[in-house]
Each structure stands twice: as structure tokens, then as C-alpha cells.
């Protein structure tokens, strides 16, 4: 996982929505079994904005920005079906988002502005990470083992996460999708 440097008076945040139970537990245990070093630090989720260093003084404006966006975006449904990979660009095996993909893209484009605009390392592609930075055979195994996974759940809120000193990403602020 790429972590942008964090300067003095900055905080590292991410914006995503969590994968609910029972799938979250299944995915986390699999990631641990695959030897993914981030499995216990990053709960299963679909990223909207990846790790971003922001000025602490900008957090109130970011909160207002996210709240305003959530006024425009309605709750939606996500369906996870099958697997994919970002190889050879990145050593990642993932679960595919087959329903709610467009809504995730719209949400990401809306959020990736203002104080949250930053250079992108890759084009945005909604997914749930299964394994990252592990050997090729393990990535193949992760793809094979989750190829038949099918999960469907509502997305009713977006979360701002803080990257804590212990390396764990923790929920900080919930933003309900209200779509007025």
C-alpha cells in the first residue's frame, strides 16, 4: 500500500465504505491466510479516496465537503461477484464490483475535488482487495478461492478513516448518503 508522506500538522485519511458482515470477516481471515501484511490494519472496504495526507486545518472544510456531497448521492446497492487482478501494474487480487460500480465512480469523482484533489497513481476502479504484495502463486490462489463469491449489500454511508500511529485505519466520521 502506498502511503503518502505526512508532514507536520497533517493527518493521513482515506474515504471508503466497509464491506459488511459476514463477508468482511471471511475476507479478512483470507487476507491474513494469504500473508497480506495489511490484512489486520485495513478492514475490508471499497475505497473512494485512498490514503491522502491533508492539513489538520483543512479537516473541517473536508467534513463540510463530504457532507455536501452526501446530500446529492442516494444510497445504492453493491454486488460483489468474482475476482480480478491489477497485475502486472500492481500485485493485487481483488473481488469485482459488478453492481454499484458506476455509483462508486460517480461518488469518487465528486469527492476527488477541492481539499481532496490529489494526483492519482492509478485510474479509479472500485474493488475489494483480497491480497496485496504477496507472491504470484498466492495471488492466483486468492483469485481462485473467491471466484464464486457473490455478495449484495446496501451502501448507505461513506466513512472518513484516520490512519493511526499504530498503522491501523479506523473509522472517524460517518456521512450518510441522503440523495435529496
Mean pLDDT of 153-173: 91
Going by pLDDT thresholds of 50, 70 and 90, the confidence category of residue 1 is low
- The residue to which cell 490484512 is assigned: 39
Per DSSP, 35 falls in state T
Mean pLDDT (whole number) for 150-178: 93
- Do the domain assignments include residue 105? yes
Query: What are 64's three cell numbers?
Result: 463540510
- Does residue 4 lie in a domain region? no
| pLDDT tens track for 68-110 | 999 999 999 999 999 999 998 889 999 999 999 999 999 999 9
Domain membership flag for residue 149? yes
- Residue 3 within any structural domain of the chain: no
User: Would 14 be classed as within a structural domain?
Assistant: yes
Residue 1 lies in a domain: no
Closest CA to 34 of 145, 166, 178: 145
Task: Return d(Cα 51, Cα 5) in angstroms, integer.
Answer: 10
2 in a structural domain: no
Between CA 116 and CA 79 the distance in angstroms is 27
Q: Does 58 map to a domain? A: yes
Question: Model pTM?
Answer: 0.92
Q: How far apart are alpha carbons 102 and 156 in whole angstroms?
A: 16
Domain of residue 73: give its range: 10-176
Least Cα distance to 93 among 31, 2, 169, 41 occurs for 31
pLDDT for 148 beyond 60: yes
Q: Are 97 and 126 in contact (CB under 8 A)?
A: yes
Instruction: Supply the CATH number for residue 76's domain.
Output: 3.90.1140.10
Tell me the H-state helices in the chain: 23-34, 59-72, 101-111, 136-145
Total domains in the fold of the chain? 1
C-beta of residue 93 within 8 angstroms of C-beta of residue 139:
yes
Amino acid at each position: 500500500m502506498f502511503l503518502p508522506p505526512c508532514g507536520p500538522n497533517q493527518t493521513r485519511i482515506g474515504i471508503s465504505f466497509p464491506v459488511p458482515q459476514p463477508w468482511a470477516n471471511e475476507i479478512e481471515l483470507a487476507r491474513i491466510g494469504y500473508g497480506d501484511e495489511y490484512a489486520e490494519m485495513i478492514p475490508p472496504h471499497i475505497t473512494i479516496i485512498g490514503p491522502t495526507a491533508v492539513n489538520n486545518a483543512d479537516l473541517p472544510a473536508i467534513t463540510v465537503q463530504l457532507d455536501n456531497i452526501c446530500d446529492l448521492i442516494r444510497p445504492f446497492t453493491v454486488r460483489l461477484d468474482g475476482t480480478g487482478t491489477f497485475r502486472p501494474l500492481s500485485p493485487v487480487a481483488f473481488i469485482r464490483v459488478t453492481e454499484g460500480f458506476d455509483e462508486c465512480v460517480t461518488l469518487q469523482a465528486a469527492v476527488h475535488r477541492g481539499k481532496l484533489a490529489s494526483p492519482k497513481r492509478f485510474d479509479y476502479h472500485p474493488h475489494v482487495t483480497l491480497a496485496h504484495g504477496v507472491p504470484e502463486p498466492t495471488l492466483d490462489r486468492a483469485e481462485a478461492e473467491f471466484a464464486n463469491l457473490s455478495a449484495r449489500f446496501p451502501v448507505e454511508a461513506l466513512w472518513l478513516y484516520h490512519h493511526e500511529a499504530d498503522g491501523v485505519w479506523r473509522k472517524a466520521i460517518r456521512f450518510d448518503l441522503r440523495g435529496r
